[in-house]
A = this chain, B = another copy of it.
Amino acid sequence: MAHSKQTPRSRGQSRPPGRTKIVEALKSLLGEKEFTAITTADIAQTAGVTEALIYKYFSDKRDLLHQLLAEYLDYFVTRAELDVKGIKGAVHKLRRLIWSHINMYAGNRVFARILLLEVRNYREYFNSDAYQMVKRYSSFLESIVEEGIAEGVIRDDIPIPVIRQLIIGGIEHICLPAVIFNRDIDPDAPADQLCDLILDGISTRQP
């Protein structure tokens, strides 16, 4: 198994310019076409470096993709955790998190593409750093749900993972058409509607 070449790096430590160019090139190419349709030659040319250099920094074309995703996720997860800080009440936190999540996809179409479409069909992904961060995010979401249960505002008769899956599944499917067909996402309305549904369900309330 090709093992990632990423070196743990302290925050802010700057990466070699060649590496950066390569990552940016992939980012830019993913705006145009599917990962499998992107060749290392493409990447090198777009980056203005040689193909060989890719293998200095990445063990693999796929490793490059995973590291790019990890960079996105690093930002995304950290950001999401921060975004919720200081908010009181699990329900408000949840509303905020859902908006934040949709907003991330809205603002980073490439990130969304990778996460929703390009990595899941590849077994190795589930051993990657990137996947670890996704799990960290899942846990974070679950912790908010737990908080809500403790507060008595979220029901406790449903396994928490099911709740998490509904939330994340809902978010993804709201964004999926836009991601696939490269359309814009306006996060506000969908986020609100989704939250309303998740919180209160689709039934009309019987008084």
| B158 and A166 contact, CB distance less than 8 A | no
Answer yes or no: A49 CB below 8 A from chain B CBs: no
Please determine whether B196 and A202 come into contact, CB atoms closer than 8 angstroms.
Answer: no
Q: Is the C-beta of A121 less than 8 angstroms from some C-beta in chain B? A: yes
For residue A197, which residues in chain B have a CB less than 8 angstroms away from its CB?
A: 158, 162-163, 166, 198, 201
**Which residues on the B side are within 8 Å of A196 (C-beta)?**
157-158
Quick check: B123 and A121 within 8 Å, CB to CB? no
The answer to whether residues A34 and B123 also contact, given A193-B158, A203-B200 and a CB cut-off of 8 A, is yes
Q: Are A202 and B163 in contact, with the CB atoms below 8 A? A: yes
B204 touches A198 (CB 8 A): no
Closest 6 CB pairs of A and B: A169-B173, A169-B169, A201-B201, A165-B173, A200-B201, A117-B121
On whether A120 and B202 interact (CB within 8 A), knowing A162-B193, A169-B169, A171-B169, the answer reads no
A residues in contact (CB < 8 Å) with B:
34-36, 91, 116-118, 120-123, 126, 145, 148, 152-155, 157-159, 162-163, 165-166, 168-174, 176, 180-181, 190, 193-194, 196-204
Whether A180 lies near B34 (C-beta < 8 A) is: no
Question: In whole angstroms, how far apart are the Cα atoms of A36 and B122 in the complex?
Answer: 9
How far does the alpha carbon of A200 sit from the alpha carbon of B203 in the complex, in Å? 6
Q: How far is the CB of A51 from chain B (nearest CB, A)?
A: 11
Asked if B202 contacts A158 (CB within 8 A), the reply is: yes
A-B CB contact pairs (8 Å), 5 listed:
A34-B122, A91-B203, A120-B180, A169-B176, A198-B202
Bound form: Cα–Cα A169–B116 in Å: 12
Contact partner, A199, options B145, B148, B169, B203, Cβ 8 Å: B203
- Is the CB–CB distance between B202 and A155 below 8 Å? yes
Task: Determine whether the beta carbon of A204 is less than 8 Å from that of B154.
Answer: yes
Interchain CB contact (< 8 A) of A165 among B121, B152, B170: B170
